[in-house]
A and B are shown apart, each in its own frame.
Chain A
Amino acid sequence: MRLDRLSTERPVGFLSVCLLSLLLVFAPALRAQLVIEITQGVDDPTPIAVIPFAWEGTGAAPEDLAQVVQDDFERSGQFAPVPRADMLGFPSREEDLFYRDWRAIQSEYVLIGRVRGEGPNLSARYELYDVLRQSRIAEGDISMPAGEARMLGHRISDAVYEKLTGIPGAFATRLIYVSVTRNPTGKDYYRLTLADADGARPIVLLESREPIMSPSWSPDGRQVAYVSFETGRPAIFRQVLATGEREQLTNFRGLNSSPAWAPDGNTIAMVLSKDGSPDIYLMDVQTRRLTRVTRHYAIDTEPSWMPDGGSFLFTSDRGGRPQIYRYDLRTGLTERVTFEGQYNARARVAQDGRNVVLVHQRDGEFKIAIHDLVTGRLQVLTNTQLDESPSIAPNGSMVLYATKFGDRGILSAVSVDGGVKFRLPSRSGDVREPAWSPYMDY
């Protein structure tokens, strides 16, 4: 009542009341909303349930594809697959999927799938669900020849991995490596072997009683170049994987080693000592024309191309000790890249053009390290003693290298952050010089 009178009869009072109420009304709007900044994280492996895929075909399923996918995720280190024993059911369709069950076992994602045989082909449908938001975030159909069932699994892994991490997966890729079988009574056996990226399905490409060394992939993943001593002295060969057709590229006196296929696919960098000390040459694959690139009385070896093809890294002892240098083909200038430690060699550049894996000597032990070309920082990844021949996955996430386990040479892999390490199975003998393929087209 009094308020009424006040507001009608006293214009000044009325105005001030209006003003005040206006202020009160707009007070929340004037306040900025609270913003909490999150600048750290824990980066634990993400739990994912890979549910056994349903087989919709005749006879028995050719391969447990879900197991292939689950093993891929396990090895990546970024995912923690839910053990099958913990699963509360094996749904293969969306309508059978109860998010509650999967939330209960703390799985963040669920991958379901169905596989069926279609004539000579095997085709799979996969669906990826986000348990927390209860929605489908990826699905797809992939088809492969029936003999490539494992590759089909790896391709599902690649698709899901890319969806979840933002970087392409490198599971459906392959490796080549050299395995040596010791023969106590005579000459050793050397085998150039091709296998899936998980070490499964090894195929022997070349067998020889003389050493085989330095396998290198062509950028399209269809050919390899390597050094073979089968002619009695080192020579560089190239071989087409699909047909087995091979060609001898060099037969110079002295060293013929370390072929490295340039990103354009037409040039191979190699080390020859025909003109004196080992230097780096470029060979045009079509015309076989040679160009000498480095000229130094010291040893220049182990070239590795930058992804743009405009420069390459190599190892040289021109400073007294082996270190990594970079030669720029556009300017013709050489600059030293590594400065940390007494020994850095056998560099391999990742596809991002930034990370370089190399062999680094620390405390008398040879370890795999990663060097950041932008910051110049070097980080040791392994804690074994005789690590050699690092090779980085095409997506830059893992490094494959050769090391000693007991008295045997084996292949090991480590993630680029050093967090995950695992060994690749090998049946017998020493395994050395792994080379991780580029992405393959199918």
Chain B
Amino acid sequence: MRDWYSLGQLTLLPLAATLLLHLLIVLMMVLRWQPDSEARTIEARVLPPKAITATLIDASSLKASKASRKPAPKAPPRQESRPAQPRQAEAPAPRSFKSEARTPDQRASSRSSTSRPAAPRSEPRPEPKISAEELAAISRAEIAAAVAAESPSSVAVTAEEMSASYAALIRDTVVNYWSRPPSARNGMEALLAIQLVPTGEIVSVTVVRSSGSAAFDRSAINAVEKAGSFPELRNLPPREFEQDFRRFQLLFRPEDLRY
């Protein structure tokens, strides 16, 4: 051990530390990339809000929730919110943060099919004691939490989901403003490049690939211009904003026309 250590003529400690650090970065990047490549087309990834009860969260609480990211498991609330109500347009991402920041026993409570925020322990029930199933549920949730905390992929999935839900928000907003000309046909495609600033204001809209019809292209541009800005993006952490929303593309391709 000592021989190997001295072999390097230098103290290997800083080198090892640097390498480790870089390796970590690479690992994080790789873990982020993998889901990225399949999620580039957002179309299929409509994510319902993580929790319907969420309210607005300002930046400071965002940071707090970010700090407490580690012990928070990701999987249970996600499965739970799938059949939830239709997604709402406002700020889905803070919700995802909030659900992350929940404690494991809160999670267990929501899992045991009660909508109340109280922990299962304090619930009024016919039995004064916690049943074996509930105990099992809690411990299962705790195990899940621990497992999730171990694997770094939970962080990556969160960021991914967050940008997907913001992408869905943008899409729904633009859909509401898109009025197609009568010459539009299913299968026509116009690709626009959008540039945003972190406040959600649109800086530029340019046609990357024209549909071939000026009226169709104009309807697409006007849909974005009418939407004007996406102020909800202010809640997005700068990293995610830079990554996905500073520059992104909108593909207009009607599928719901008569023909």
Contacts and interface: CB of A to CB of B under 8 A. Distances in A.
A21 B44 CA distance: 34
A133 B215 contact: no
A286 interface: no
Contacts of B250: 35-38
B176 interface: yes
Nearest to B175: A40
B143 interface: no
Interface string B222-259: 11011000000000000000011101111111111011
Contacts of A24: 25, 29
Contacts of B26: 20, 23
B1 interface: no
A164 B215 contact: yes
A40 B43 CA distance: 11
Contacts of B249: 33-36
A166 B171 contact: no
B255 A39 contact: yes
Contact of A167 (B15, B183, B253, B256): B183
A163 interface: yes
A270 B191 CA distance: 50
A40 B29 contact: no
Nearest to B29: A27
Interface in B1-50: 8, 10, 14-15, 18-19, 22, 25-26, 29, 33, 36-37, 40-43
A41 B177 CA distance: 7
A2 interface: yes
Nearest to A31: B36
A10 interface: yes
Given A13-B18, A16-B19, A32-B40, A166 B213 contact: yes
Given A31-B243, A44-B179, A13 B19 contact: yes
Interface in B164-182: 167, 170-171, 174-182
A29 to B, nearest CB: 12
B248 A42 contact: no
A46 B184 CA distance: 15
Contact of A34 (B22, B40, B223): B40
A34 B163 contact: yes
B259 A38 contact: no
A251 B195 CA distance: 72
A37 B42 contact: yes
A41 B180 contact: yes
B222 to A, nearest CB: 5
Question: How large, as a class, is the contact surface on chain A?
Answer: 35 or more
Nearest to B250: A36
B43 A39 contact: yes
Interface string B210-222: 0001111011111
Given A33-B247, A108-B222, A130-B218, A38 B175 contact: yes
B180 A43 contact: yes
Interface string B52-79: 0000000000000000000000000000
A17 B18 contact: yes
A39 B225 CA distance: 17
B43, B163, B245: residue with the most chain A Cβ atoms closer than 10 Å: B43
A3 interface: yes
A39 B10 contact: no
B181 A20 contact: no
A375 B258 CA distance: 10
Nearest to B178: A41
A333 interface: no
Interface string A71-101: 0000000100000000000000000000000
B15 A39 contact: no
B175 A16 contact: no
Contacts of A374: 259
A414 B248 CA distance: 41
Contact of A35 (B41, B213, B225, B256): B41
Interface in A1-57: 2-3, 5-6, 9-10, 13, 16-17, 20, 23-24, 27-28, 30-46
A34 B179 CA distance: 23
Nearest to A32: B40
Contacts of A9: 10
A3 B18 contact: yes
Contact of B182 (A38, A130, A165): A165
A43 B254 CA distance: 11
Contact of A39 (B215, B243, B245, B253): B253
A417 interface: yes
Interface in A156-176: 163-167
A39 B254 contact: yes
A372 interface: yes
A38 B251 contact: yes
Nearest to B18: A6
A206 interface: no
B22 A36 contact: no
A39 B43 CA distance: 9
10 contacts: A35-B41, A35-B191, A36-B249, A37-B250, A38-B251, A41-B219, A43-B178, A166-B182, A166-B184, A167-B183
Given A34-B248, A36-B167, A164-B218, 15 more contacts: A6-B15, A16-B22, A20-B26, A35-B42, A35-B249, A37-B253, A38-B220, A39-B255, A40-B255, A44-B179, A108-B222, A133-B221, A164-B181, A166-B215, A417-B258
3 smallest beta-carbon distances between A and B, as pairs: A166-B183, A166-B215, A41-B178
